Each structure stands twice: as structure tokens, then as C-alpha cells.
Structure 1
């Protein structure tokens, strides 16, 4: 029984390493990779970009995330950081929707191969504690600049 468990453990370990190697080798060759998969995003630029992906119908919180993010970036980083709002339902063929495998409301900061997902922070704070969300957003942007 111990031998069977050892063999299964080794196979699981080898499978995990193999999957990670395939994933990251694809992104190194310029192929798309999902943000949640742990692999680097293909470097394309040295500028910081903020992308807010949303649906056609939006709740008050969804709108607050966009409003706070856009205003914070325009007021503090004009010319240094770009903000783009993308309707993922109307723009299903948008290369960014495909590249980041977006399926829900998502706020991303991207600079070359570095990406920060601020979706949770935005949805937890943009409506009720916008100053807290703004502080986190600025902190992440400052670290990328």
C-alpha cells in the first residue's frame, strides 16, 4: 500500500511540473496565457495600462469600480498610465478579452510581463470605501512605475 501511494505521489508531482512547464513555455513564445494560471503575461510594453472589463448590464458596484479607477488614474497618472474600459459582451473578439481569458468583471493593471488583478479590492471597496480602493490602486501603480 505504501508503495502504491509513493508511486501515485511521484506521478502527481511529475504531472504538476509538466503542466507548469508547458504553460510557461507557451507564454515565453508569445502565446496567450491566463492571468490566474501562474504564468507570466507576454511582455509587450513598458507602459502601465489599466483594463476594466465589464458586462453590458452593470450594478452600482461595477460602475463604482470603473469610476474610482478611471478618476484616480486620470487625476494622478495622466500621461503615465492609460485606462481602458472594455465591454466584454459587445467585444467578445477583443484580443485582450481572449488574451486574459476574461469571463467576468475584471480590473487589471499590466506592464510588460507583470500583471496585477485588482478586481477583489475594487469590488470590496469602490462603493463603500473608495478612498481605501484608491490607496491600493495608487500603491500598485506606483510599484509598477
Structure 2
């Protein structure tokens, strides 16, 4: 009887752990880039990472916020870039809710502000993530 209870307890623990690491509702930040990147492209990635690291560390650990840098010159990166219809550096902050994606293309805003208006850029990234987490 004890082995069965131990096994059931372990399975319940495992199920609860998996449920916590893969929430149905999360925010996915996608930064697409190629092999060659300009100063602005690098600023977009670094500023976005700073916001996520400084403002959403707990949500990252919970799996509620995810960041991916995708090199579109690789085969896997190219496939994802095709799905998002991007051919150059791009920034998307997307909300996922029960398998449905809500895309937010911040590429133009990012190129206009990541270097010259860094705090404005960071604030917009933060606010977009906060709104999508609601």
C-alpha cells in the first residue's frame, strides 16, 4: 500500500510542478536579428533584456514571461521569421492565452527609440508586458 501512495504522491507533485512551469497564459518577447547587427539592433536587444531582467525576474522564473533572441540566418530562425513575416531585426511582444496568440509588433517604435530615447523605449516594453500579463 505504501508504494502505491508514494507513487501517487510523486505523480501529483510532478503534475503540479509541470503546471507551474508551463502556464496557459504568458507573454513571449521575440527579438529577431541577423548575423550582422547595427548599434540600434544591439540596443533593442540589450534594453529589452534589461527590462525583463530588472522588472519581470519573478515572472520569468514562473514561466509567465519568456524572452527569445532568434537569429534569422539559421534554419530554425528562418522558419520562425517566415511565420512572423520578418526579414530583418524585429521586436514582437506577444500575449498567449490558452494557445491563442495576440501579436504586438514594436519594431518601428524600437528602431525610433531604443538608442535615442532609451527610457521611453524601456517604459513601453514594460507597459506592454504588464498589459499582456493582465
Shift in CA distance, 96/136, structure 1 to aligned 2, threshold 3 Å? same
2:65: which partner in 1? 81
Partner SS state of residue 104, structure 2? strand
More helix by share: 2
After TM superposition, give the deviation of residue 105 of structure 1 in Å. 1.1
Which residue pairs with 1:46 in the alignment?
A: 25
Counterpart among 120, 123, 136 of residue 108 in structure 2: 120
Structure 1: which 5+ runs fail to align? 1-44
Q: State the TM-score, normalizing by the size of structure 2.
A: 0.69
CA distance in 1, matches of 2:31, 2:39: 15
Superposition deviation, residue 91 in structure 1: 3.5
TM-score (norm 1): 0.64
Task: Quote the RMSD (CA, aligned, Å).
Answer: 1.6
Q: Contact 1:56–1:90 (CA<8 Å) still a contact in 2? A: no
Q: Runs in 1 of length 4+ with deviation above 6 angstroms?
A: none
Write the distance in 1 (CA, Å) between the matches of 2:52 and 2:117: 17
SS of match in other structure, 1:117: coil
Structure of greater relative contact order (alpha carbons < 8 Å, 6+ residues apart):
2
Between 1:59-68 and 1:107-116, the stretch displaced more is: 107-116
CA positional deviation for 1:119: 0.7
1:55 Cα deviation from its structure 2 partner: 1.0
Count of aligned positions: 101
Q: C-alpha displacement at 1:93, in angstroms?
A: 5.6
Deviation at 1:92, TM superposition (A): 5.3
Q: Provide the residue aligned with 1:27 in structure 2.
A: none
